[in-house]
Amino acid sequence: MPAAKILVVDDDKNLLELAKTRLTASNYDVTVALGYEEALDAAKVQNFDLAIVDLRLADEDGMTLMEKLHALYPGIPVIILTGHASVEGAVEAMKRGAYTYLTKPFDPRELVLQIGRALESCKLATENERLRGLLKEKYDFANIVAKSDSMQKVLEAVSRIAKTDSTVYINGESGTGKELIAKAIHLASDRKDEAFVAINCAAIPETLLESELFGHEKGAFTGAVKSTKGLFTQANHGTLFLDEIGDMPLSIQVKLLRALEERQFYPVGGEKPVQVDVRVVVATKKDLVEEVKKSSFREDLFYRIHVIPIVLPPLKDRVEDIPYLVDHLLKKICQQMKRDVKGLTPKAMEKLMQHDWPGNVRELENTLEFAVTMTQRDIITDDLVLQTKISTTPVHTEDPVQAQLLPVNGSFKTLKEARSEFEKAYLVRLLRSCNGKATRAAEIAGKYRADFYDLLKKHDIKLAEFKRFN
Ligand SMILES: Nc1ncnc2c1ncn2[C@@H]1O[C@H](COP(=O)(O)OP(=O)(O)OP(=O)(O)O)[C@@H](O)[C@H]1O
Ligand SMILES: [Mg+2]
């Protein structure tokens, strides 16, 4: 077992030194902070198992600090230090969740004893939580980082509704984890051993989407040489995830509405209705209320799918998740890249905490992946995160991606040509950085595997050529 990490906060330097010596000798991993700000900075970049806080800090009230720590780490035991004169304050602190208090000057042996007890009781509490089958263990939510209140609420909602068959509507900016939550809903439901079938409604041309969803009979249209089962049928008894539903063409919306209402549908060219038992989860980053107002989304379908709404907050509104996400994503990336990067410098972490994250968790993941690729050490320094600024006035460049923006011989390419060249250059670079691992590359590109393969085919890119970088 690694040594428990303890944060000691006091504005008395001597006391801090004494505590550090004493607790280190008792095999604890000790960090000291001279005040509120320093303590919070430390708490944001590493996880502590316990905190010892002076009730009277020069820059802030110790009680406020305790509450802040509890918000960051629910359940962390806090031991309050106090002078004889302010025992009342310490009692008040206990009412508000402190584990215990010691009056100064305290006996170091007593402190060590209390720390041992606090850590033990904390371990028991965690164990109890586990035994009571709390969310994480019960539903295999282990891969979802959700420290913030807003994400905790999302997970609570997920566990509450997973076992019903109601349609779930997930709304959130790009990269906020919509697909992750959709899968979690499936895994937490009684359908978990059946198929989870996903389709990106924005990626499939209107003419194909209907047959993709509902299947078609042989001869239903040119090229329909044999009948095919649609995704609704493939998802029978399982979950169908309709991603980017806001981009579904109106003509298909009508058919989807009917399928949801009647729990049956007609394959393209078919005369016999097909009945299925499917749980539908939809997701969109659009504001569907607006789309309804603009008449690009059917109001009746909106009400039909908007049964259980789950809103994923943007990352900038839940910064307290960032250190945990960093921890989680770093491990994931290191495993995939077979690297051993242990963490970030405090300065690098601070940069991440202050960024706006328009691309949300996916952007964070890409940022870390870039940093892991670039770093020569086992720690990520601040110069490796969020440095890339896209120049708005590209000059001569060898960069194939930027080169697409430049006029050729003074005249511009058509947008279509430029776009296609950009796409190809992007794919080549992406595959190079993923060593030809298509699953990974598709994930980073935000594409389904099948769509990704189609793109490779379109540009005549051979995966095998990238594998040699392995
Ligand atoms: N709370 C979280 N905990 C751990 N990983 C997360 C979390 N949220 C998102 N991720 C990771 O971030 C990436 C993006 O998530 P996901 O694909 O689910 O987002 P999305 O909302 O569907 O994005 P888009 O709108 O671009 O399709 C994935 O690799 C996912 O595993
Ligand atoms: Mg998605």
Instruction: Please measure the distance between the N-terminal and C-terminal CA atoms of the chain and give it in whole angstroms.
Output: 35
Cα separation, 90 vs 81, in Å, equals: 8
Closest ligand to the CA of 180 = 1
Q: What distance lies between CA 248 and its chain's CA centroid?
A: 25
Q: Is the full-model pTM beyond 0.85?
A: no
Instruction: Check pocket membership of 447 for ligand 1, CB cut-off 6 A.
Output: no
**Cα(359) to centroid(ligand 1), Å:** 10
> What does residue 268 show for φ and ψ, rounded to 5 degrees?
-60, 125
Average pLDDT, the chain: 86
**Cα(365) to centroid(ligand 1), Å:** 9
Instruction: Check pocket membership of 174 for ligand 1, CB cut-off 6 A.
Output: yes
Q: How many CB atoms lie within 10 A of CB 424?
A: 18
**Cα(176) to centroid(ligand 1), Å:** 5
Cα separation, 36 vs 422, in Å, equals: 49
Q: List the chain pLDDT tens, one digit each, 470 residues.
A: 678 999 999 999 999 999 999 999 999 999 999 999 999 988 887 788 999 999 988 778 899 999 988 887 777 899 999 887 778 888 888 888 899 999 888 888 899 999 999 998 877 766 655 554 444 434 456 689 999 999 999 998 998 899 899 999 999 999 999 999 999 999 889 998 888 899 999 888 888 899 999 999 888 787 777 778 889 999 999 999 999 999 999 999 999 999 999 999 999 999 999 999 999 999 999 999 999 999 999 999 999 999 889 999 999 999 999 999 999 999 999 988 889 999 999 999 999 999 999 999 999 999 999 899 888 889 999 999 987 543 334 344 445 555 555 544 445 667 777 788 788 888 888 888 888 888 888 888 888 888 898 899 888 888 877 775 33
**Cα(202) to centroid(ligand 2), Å:** 11
List of long-range contacts for 425-432, beta carbons under 8 Å, 24+ apart:
425/400, 425/401, 426/401, 427/455, 427/456, 427/459, 427/461, 428/400, 428/461, 429/400, 429/401, 431/461, 431/463, 431/466, 432/466, 432/469
108: helix, strand or coil: helix
Q: Which helix (H) or strand (E) covers residue 6, if one does? A: strand 5-9
Q: How many CB atoms lie within 10 A of CB 220?
A: 17
Helices 36-45 and 62-72: angle between axes, nearest 10 degrees: 10
Burial class (CB in 10 A: 0-12, 13-18, 19+), 312: buried
Instruction: Check pocket membership of 145 for ligand 1, CB cut-off 6 A.
Output: yes
Cα separation, 232 vs 279, in Å, equals: 10
